[in-house]
Amino acid sequence: MTDTVAGRPFWRLVFDDDGDVDPQLIATLTTEIRQSGVSDVVLFSHGWNNGEDTAIRLYKRWFDLLAAHIAADRKVGFVGVFWPSQLWRDEPIPDFETVTRHADGGGAASLDAGPVVPAGAPTIDPAILDDLKAMFPEGATQLDAIAGLLAAPPSQASINELFAQLRSFHEATRQGFDDGEAEAPDEPGMLDTNRTPTEVFDRFAATLATTGIEFESGGGAAGLGDFLDKALHGAKEALRQLSYWKMKNRAGVVGRTGLGPVVARLATEHPGLRIHLVGHSFGARAVAYALDGLAEGPSPVKSITLLQGAFSRFTFTDRLPFRDGGGALAGRLARLDGPMTVCHSSHDSALSTMYPLASLAAKDDSSGADDRLFRFRAMGSHGAFEAERRLLGAAGTAYPFQPHRILNLDASDVVNQGGPPSGAHSDIFKPQLAWVVAAAGGLT
């Protein structure tokens, strides 16, 4: 029997890591759409799926916000998209109890004024290790080795071995594709062999400190032990970011081979059905790549809204500013019969600091660019490249939406809650954002 949110039908769609959809759930959705008589369906893809109960609570909370802006006479159904992704358990699940960040309106620099959190031990909690091995079973051997090295007294030899095991883990778990911004699309720059392990791990540790993570010191002048201990924290963060980099790649696979064909099937079986796609974090990449899974011709997708999108801001760019060619989805906006809205925030430290470091290769440090992270910036921190820009306004604001065009909305004044290391990355439960989805889709 169909569940409901705010009196409107709510369905689930579940995909595996290859993008295969649960056949029973898609059959139920297809049948019950017809029975319910809905004219519009809003599909939301999460970024993190830390258990089905948590994901369902996340969806219901967000759809409650959206329902408040939908006209009473509009027959709209909601769909929660589930796919294999995992937030590390030592980070707050995107949701329900946010840590207030005292924003001063100063953009990314205001992140430094946030709360300070002790780094704790560099070891991996057994539950987190089990989560990672379940997400990446092909890399279980390497994950066990990495966990053992992080728990042992540090030495230069163990630091070097950690880097080797990270590379081995990557090789064992290759999946997906990049957004067109990288020279080596299957190789995160963080694993560049032209950079030393100590350099990589120190960079991640230093970046953790900028987000508000505080490392303990043995007192007095920093000794070799302090440096090696900090390198262990950097190695743990490197593993975290590598696992997230792989989940980002997986999201593209789910969108292209799973969600896109499902949208096409719904359009075929329900002519005239209007479909709206919403994605948060890696889920934003999933719904974006759904366009790549659609055939040419009239599109059932009437709007796409990306909330703190954790993928390249150059994905839809026709001509890249740093090499020949375009982004991976250049030209795909033609498959969208409506607007795409990119909501981004400078208070998202997960995307403004950690995300680009995972792709930064050694040669990029000497590129001479004013922003050495330029080519690896994310949708959710900087917005889509060269698209029109506006400030996110109050619910009820009229925006200049246009079919087949991207509109960037700077949400920094609203999306500004959250502690280190991710900042405001998951601060998406805002009526102003729900209004954008309703207005872009013509549901108000």
pLDDT at 412: 97
Decide if pLDDT at 55 tops 90. no
Per residue in 192-203, pLDDT (tens digit) is 888 899 999 999
H or E element in which residue 172 lies: helix 156-172
3-class secondary structure, 302: strand
Per residue in 258-303, pLDDT (tens digit) is 999 999 999 999 999 999 999 999 999 999 999 999 988 889 999 9
Spatial separation of the C-alpha atoms in residues 99 and 21, rounded to whole Å: 36
Sign of the alpha-carbon torsion through 240, 122, 204, 138: negative
Average predicted confidence (pLDDT) for the chain? 88
Residues 6 or more apart whose CB falls under 8 angstroms from that of 398 comprise 439
H or E element in which residue 141 lies: helix 140-151
Query: Could you give the residue ranges of the DSSP H alpha helices within 270-371?
Result: 282-289, 349, 355-357
Per residue in 342-363, pLDDT (tens digit) is 999 999 999 998 888 888 765 5
From residue 253, alpha-carbon distances to 20, 24, 65 in Å are 10, 21, 29
From residue 385, alpha-carbon distances to 318, 348, 368, 381, 382 in Å are 10, 17, 20, 11, 8
Domains of the chain: 3-87+249-440 (3.40.50), 112-247 (no CATH)
- Cβ of 300: how many Cβ atoms within 10 Å? 19
